[in-house]
Amino acid sequence: MSSFHSSLCFSVQKLPSPSPSPSEQQMSLLSTKPKSILQKNPLYQPTHKNISLQFKEKILCLEIMGVDSGKALSQNPCLHTASLHTIHSIITFLQSKGLHQKDFARIFGMCPRILTSDIRCELNPVFNFLSKDLRVPESNFRRVINKCPRLLICSVEDQLKPALFYLQRLGFRDLHHLAYQDPILLVSSVENTLIPKLEYLASLGFSRNEAVEMTLRCPGLFTFSIDNNFKPKFEYFSQEMGGELDELMEFPQYFAFSLEKRIKPRHIELVQSGVSIPLPLMLKTTDEEFKEMIRQQTG
């Protein structure tokens, strides 16, 4: 029985003593509770009696890690032919970099492609990038990867380094903040995501320097959808609230608040109360603080 299978499966189900042979262990695990796991998997057909034991083990071990095996196999077809030894090598490598077994459900669930990555050509360069370019100590690799698992499926030369270079040119100097707070910016396409968001902000009437300053104050602007976030919120701000660009320049975090759950209800309440308060106070305060401000101005 493979070390991968044993390391994942034996920790979940304790086998009786004396220990049976490897083949008996495999059949024991696959004939009891895990069988129900296999039968629920859309890729497992009970009528296919010739389905390999290794494929059954693969499904079983993914499920035991907490990974939806059907989704993983669908999103990463290479998993169909990947050996258990290959998958085990990936897990062993990631553990050597400080990741814990309990991290794998989320990491592989989000990015099943990691399970068939090339350690030398794809995974190791990412950790070298974290260490050398972002200056992340090895003891903090786990923190960064858990924050943004997509780092592990990005090309260092084609994606991570170009994104870092572009962000640094804009003025993002705090490597610590990029690594621990906003690593999603590093996995964002410069051409398809970062530049278009900046250009859209400039199209609202801001100068390019002002648009850049807004992203430096609120990096999350690079992650918001133009059609689903920027456009409806700016339309409401300019048309319904009668807001000025200077207000957004000073408080770009406006775009981070929900239009339906925060912006509209609070604006309507202010209008009905005949009260005017600065945009940051309108949105950042708690419900109790917001109501208290209204009471103070209307009392």
pLDDT of residue 51: 56
Is residue 111 domain-resident?
yes
Is residue 270 domain-resident?
no
Q: How far apart are CA 292 and CA 273, in angstroms?
A: 12
CB 167 within 8 A of CB 178: yes
Compute φ and ψ for 31, nearest 5 degrees.
-105, -5
pLDDT of residue 82: 87
Per-residue pLDDT of the chain (299 residues; tens, 9 = 90+): 444 443 443 333 333 333 333 334 433 443 344 444 444 444 444 444 545 777 888 888 888 888 888 898 889 999 888 888 899 999 999 999 999 999 999 999 999 999 999 999 999 999 999 999 999 999 999 999 999 999 999 999 999 999 999 999 999 999 999 999 999 999 999 999 999 999 999 999 999 999 999 999 999 999 999 999 999 999 999 999 999 999 999 999 999 999 999 999 999 999 999 999 999 999 999 999 999 999 998 87
Is residue 1 domain-resident?
no
3-state secondary structure of 1: coil
pLDDT of residue 183: 97
Is residue 197 domain-resident?
no
Length of the chain: 299
- How far separated are the first and last CA of the chain, in Å rounded? 76
Question: Which of 1, 163, 170 shows the shortest CA–CA distance to 10?
Answer: 1
The number of domains in the chain is 1
Write the single-letter amino acid at 273: S
pLDDT of residue 290: 94
Is residue 94 domain-resident?
yes
Q: Which residues contact 64 (CB under 8 A, 6 or more apart)?
A: 8, 9, 12, 34
Q: Which domain holds residue 105?
A: 51-117
Is residue 67 domain-resident?
yes
Is residue 85 domain-resident?
yes
The crossing angle, in degrees rounded to 10, of helices 264-273 and 287-298 is 20
pTM here? 0.78
SS3 string, 233-283, reads HHHHHHHHCCCCHHHHHHCHHHHHCCHHHHHHHHHHHHHHHCCCCCHHHHH
Q: How far apart are CA 130 and CA 149, in angstroms?
A: 13
pLDDT of residue 31: 37
Is residue 14 domain-resident?
no
